[in-house]
Structures are given as C-alpha cells and as structure tokens.
Amino acid sequence: MANGMRRGNRLRGGYQLPLAVLFVLAVALVLIGKAQSTLFDRARARVTDWMAPELAWGHRPFDAVSSWWANVGEGYNVYQENVRLKEENARLRQWQTVAVMLDARVKRYQLLLHAVPQAALSSTLAHVIGRAKRPFLETMILDAGKANGVKPGQAVIDMRGMIGRIFLAGEHTSWVILLSDLNSRIPVTIEPGHAQAILTGDNAKAPALETLAQGVVVHPGDQVVSSGDGGILPPGLPVGTVILDNNALRVALLADPASSQDVEIVDFKNSIETPPTPTKNDLPVSAAGLPPATPPPPVTTNVQTPAPAPAAPPAIKPAVKPTPQTQAPDNPSADPDDQ
C-alpha cells in the first residue's frame, strides 16, 4: 500500500515538471512575440512555404469532393433551368404561331383596303467596343458610324428589345444614350389599350412611365412598345413590361445594356415631310378642272367729315301778357236787372 502511494507521488511530480517547463516556455514565447513581432511573421512564412506542397497534396481529396458536390448541385440546377426553358419555349412557339397568323391577316386586310404600306426598315449590325461614363451616366460605344449610314436619333436594339438611341455619330464610331439615362425621353404606347405615354429615364434600372391622357388605366404586366410619334423612332419596337414600384408606374426593360455585345441600329426611313406652299393650281376648284373664280372688286366707301352744326340762337322767353281785370260796378248793392 505504501509502495503504491510513493509510486503515485513520483508520477504526479514527474507530470508537474513538464507542465512548469511548458508554462515558462509559453510565457517566454509571448514576451518574445510582443518584443519581436516580425520574427514570428518571418518564421510563420518560412514554415508555410516549407509545408505548402504537403498542404496542397493533403487538400486535394477535399477539393475533389467539394468539386464533385458542386457539380452535382450545378447539374440539378441546370436540369431545373432546362425544364423551365423547355416550357417557356413551348409557350413562345404558340405565341409565334398566333403572331404569324395575325400578321398575315393584317396584310390581307391592308391589301383589300388599299392601305398605305409601312415604311421600310433597314438595320446595321454593330458591336459594343466600349462603355463610358461621359457625357452621360452610362454610354455605349459602337463600331459603326456615318460611313455605315448611322445618324443621330436612330434606335439601337438587341435580340430582346430596345436599348437606347444614337446621340452622336462619328465617321466610324457612334455613342448611344440608354433608355434609363436621366436625359432620355421617348414616346411609347402601352398595350393593350393603345395608351400614349412618355418613358422618362431617371438613372434607375426601370425608367418611369408618364401617361399623357387622363383616365388611362394601366396595369402591371402591360407591354410597352415605341409609338413612333415624331417620325424618328419606328413604331412597335419592344421596350419592356409595366411594373408597380412604390405606387409609381415603371417599366422593366427587356434589354440589358450591361450584357449586350451585338446590337442593331435601326434606320427608320419615314422622315416628316414639310408641306410646300400652296399655289393656285393646288386649290380645290383648280384641282377639279374649273377656272378659279374672279375675286370681287374691292368696295371703296367715301367717308365725308360732317360739317360742324351752327350754334343754336339764344332762347327767347315768351312775353307774359297781363290778365285783364273785370271792372266792378259803382253801386255794388244795385240789382243788375234794374239797370
């Protein structure tokens, strides 16, 4: 029993000595670290460099497992996105069929009514070669200019919708002002309902929508297209969808200028014609084959100045005649029958 107790005391004493040594070493390392901070940094860097190959080799299995798990998750996301895109593609094919049928019907109606055909549209393909912050908040720079028939005011679109319009055209480059810019104002039409409005940029991703007529009811989800008012932009270019943001009407644009690389510059050949000055042959009577009527001679009136009226003579007051008095009899008491 005594031998066991002595053996336990020796073991505890043996453990206490290494603990004391470790404590002293830890305090010394802390003090040295406070005094020489760069010494430990250099030592840490050397140890890390020495252990880098072994750490990379030991981390390879974990990287492989992480990459495999990420690929599994990405594959599931791709599968879901593929299913969604197939459903959307089926719906778009249905709408494409309806659009083709309606377009053919409209063309037949125009042919029967001898309607004036719409102006021809031509486009120039351009590439985005840069983006700048001047003179506007965000500007796209294209590699097509006056040499390619580009003029200020033309619409710029991509495969999704309208991006903006040309505001400056050089010989081989052009600059685009975006629809979301503070200086952008274009006339648009809200469908269904054919309501006229102005799309106003305010440097936000979704420009504001200002209706022109009172009593117009606009619902979120309505489609916004260019109206063509002014004869600069072609009508019917897709712009975006109406959304409601803090009780304000805005338009979620279909095109994304940040990701657009290839765009089209649309040339709308329907400039406003200035009417000429009408001549005699343009009058309705001349157009009907009748000689123009002779204008009546001008009527002259001689206005004579009236002579001044003579002065009126002074008024003469009529003379007042005295009233004759009746002579009384001498004898008032006498009877008139006795005379």
pTM here?
Answer: 0.54
CB 190, CB 197: distance < 8 Å: yes
Name residues whose C-beta falls within 8 Å of residue 136's C-beta, 6 or more positions apart in sequence.
177, 178, 181, 182, 183
At 334 the pLDDT is 46
pLDDT tops 60 at residue 42? yes
- For the stretch 76-113, pLDDT in tens is 788 888 989 999 999 988 988 898 899 889 889 988 98
- For the stretch 156-201, pLDDT in tens is 999 899 999 998 888 989 999 999 998 899 999 998 888 899 999 9
Got the DSSP string for 96-135?
HHHHHHHHHHHHHHHHHHTPPPPPPEEEEEEEEEEEE-SS
Q: Is the peptide bond before 192 cis (omega within 30 degrees of 0)?
A: yes
At 238 the pLDDT is 92
Identify the band that residue 40 occupies on the pLDDT scale cut at 50, 70 and 90.
low
At 332 the pLDDT is 46
Nearest CA to 255 among 197, 207, 189, 222?
207
In CATH terms, the fold of domain 121-268 is: Thrombin, subunit H (2.40.10)
At 315 the pLDDT is 52
